[in-house]
Amino acid sequence: MHRVTVVARDRAGLIAEVSELLAARAVNILAIDGETFGGDAVLHLQVDALDAALSVLAAAGFQAVSEDVLLLRIEDKPGALAHVSRRLADARISIRGISMVQRGGGYAIVGTSTDDNPRARALLSGDLV
């Protein structure tokens, strides 16, 4: 899975503008997370058409980058995320981004990107979706 990260000046209507641009190119937003830091906003988008999303956002002047995200299926119970993150930490793999994608049926799907996705993929191969 790929995630697009957009960094922009925080302002009223930012999410409307980004989502309208993507909709105009028939790009579906599968998940979105946003935060503000001072006067800046950071949006993390999971989309169904990565190239189209990056193209339309760049053409509109947005700083947008993509990253490979590992999808993990973990038990939905206390300590499950701690266990996975400890395994990565013990292997000296840093988590760069993480988000809850879905929960249900006793399991959670977590999207994470690391500073070494190939090693993380090998380490967590039994938990990958």
CATH of the domain at 86: 3.30.70.260
For residue range 69-119, what is the model confidence (pLDDT) as tens digits?
888 999 999 999 999 999 999 999 999 888 887 889 999 988 888 999 999
**Rama region for 71: left / alpha / beta (φ>0; ψ in -120 to 50; rest):** beta
Asked whether residue 55 falls in the same domain as residue 79, the answer is no
Number of domains forming the structure of the chain: 2
Give the integer Cα–Cα distance in Å for 43 and 15.
8
- Of 42, 67, 92, the one marking the end of a domain is 67
Asked whether residue 12 falls in the same domain as residue 44, the answer is yes
Residue 62: name the closest of 12, 15, 119 by CA: 15
How far out from the chain centre does Cα 2 lie? 7
Asked whether residue 10 falls in the same domain as residue 63, the answer is yes
Asked whether residue 76 falls in the same domain as residue 59, the answer is no
For residue range 18-67, what is the model confidence (pLDDT) as tens digits?
999 999 999 999 989 899 988 999 999 989 999 999 999 999 999 998 88
21 pairs with which residues across the strands?
A: none
Q: What is the span of the domain harbouring residue 28?
A: 2-67
Give the integer Cα–Cα distance in Å for 101 and 50.
17
Asked whether residue 56 falls in the same domain as residue 86, the answer is no
**Angle at CA of residue 24, ends 18 and 28, nearest 5°:** 70
